[in-house]
Amino acid sequence: MNKGLSAYLDLVRAMAAAVVFGGHSLLIFGCYDQSSGAGCAVGTMLIPFHMAHSAVILFFVLSGYVITYVATEREFEMSAFAFSRVARIYSVAIPAILLTICVDLLIWSTGNHDEIPAYQYKGWWKYLPLFVLFANNFWFLKEPTFSNGVFWSLGYEVWYYTLFGSIFYLASWKRWACAIVVFVLVGFHIWALLPIWLMGNFVYRFRRKVNLSIRASRSLFVVTIIGIIMITHWTAFEWLDRLVDGASGNWISRRMGGSQWVAGDTILGAIFALNIFAAQFARLDFGRAARAVVLGASFSFTLYLTQAPLLQFWALYMKANFWMSVSLTLGSVMLLGMATEWQNHRLRNLLYAAVRVGGLRPVSPNPQPAAERRLA
């Protein structure tokens, strides 16, 4: 992957996380209510209500592309792939869940129960394992991770990783046996958005089978960016989602949780996949700004998973105003990111060490690529 494309994908990751953060900030301060004052008008104009969800859809396509890249070019053994994914996810997810619990209990102590799912805390012994295993969207389940609603997408992506790893690394009957088990286990919520994740996978797989001139790629790149901005800003396919939902007797909106906008999300995902396809040939160059982009993206996962409890702490518990809450949350994210997201390699090394201590075969330090053929 060339530096320009890598920096662009980091930029998308950082901007998508920022959009989710902005939307959540506006939501907590009631800016999406009809009674909101003029001060919220600018914010809701820049980040309409549905835009945060659309940003998550971009994450799915991006994830499919990047995961296929690392499996093909870097992590040639299933153990290396698994350890890297576990370290990447849990280094941030576990601290985020603990932070959510602490903030929920603090807010609950003030008598504000509106945003706290009390039934989950009363039955914590059955809900907490569900959240730690990212199984809260299986089949008919639509459980938020306590008050941290953004965790819903992780319950999709983790199982896409698992399904991909089964097919990519295993051979013969084991490949399809494991894939079928995972597919049947997760249920229709997660099935619905799988094609969107696979769009990123598809773009990477066929990058060498087609080619675009610089002029054509840059033209397609600009057109798709404009299309993404217009679609996400004006919820361009809301009519299609309503049509599909109506045809289902409103079953989709009642049962599908984060997948209820699957029709519009699929079109948005396809346009972003085209955007990444064009970016591969556009010879993008961020110059000195690339370092700033990479630095910002290095906090994106922490921002995504911790912004909800941090905003609630500063806004609802500490009673800070909008801009103070936003500033303090961003500062907190930077500190948490350095202690979590930046340390995921340490957790990965601990996993490697545990494997060796347990007497299992250690991961080969310089494995040979053997999985490229599995993408064909």
The reply to whether 150 falls in a domain is yes
Q: How many other C-beta atoms are found inside a 10 Å radius of the C-beta of residue 111?
A: 6
The reply to whether 8 falls in a domain is yes
Could you tell me the residue range of the domain that residue 116 belongs to? 3-360
The single-letter DSSP state of residue 153 is G
Q: Is 2 left (phi over 0), alpha (psi -120 to 50) or beta?
A: beta
What's the confidence (pLDDT) of residue 52?
94
Number of domains making up the chain: 1
The reply to whether 316 falls in a domain is yes
Percent helix, strand and coil across the chain, each rounded to 5? 75, 0, 25
What's the confidence (pLDDT) of residue 354?
81
pTM of the model: 0.90
- Average pLDDT for consecutive 10-residue bins of the chain (376 residues)? 91 96 92 73 88 95 96 89 93 96 93 85 93 94 92 95 94 91 94 96 89 92 95 91 93 92 96 96 91 93 96 92 93 94 88 72 48 36
The reply to whether 196 falls in a domain is yes
Please report, as a single letter, which amino acid is at residue 64.
G
Please report, for residues 20, 48, 153, 276, the alpha-carbon distance to residue 266 in angstroms, rounded to integers and kept in the order given: 19, 19, 15, 15
The reply to whether 370 falls in a domain is no
Angle of CA points 345, 351, 352, to nearest 5°: 90
The reply to whether 369 falls in a domain is no
By the 8 A CB rule, do 269 and 199 touch? yes
The reply to whether 153 falls in a domain is yes
By the 8 A CB rule, do 186 and 121 touch? no
By the 8 A CB rule, do 274 and 225 touch? no
Helix (H, G, I), strand (E, B) or coil at 61: helix
The reply to whether 83 falls in a domain is yes
What's the confidence (pLDDT) of residue 79?
87
The single-letter DSSP state of residue 307 is H
Residue in 54, 68, 69, 9 with CA at minimum distance from that of residue 266: 54
What's the confidence (pLDDT) of residue 44?
87
What's the confidence (pLDDT) of residue 371?
39
The Cα–Cα gap between 27 and 48 comes to 10
What's the confidence (pLDDT) of residue 212?
86
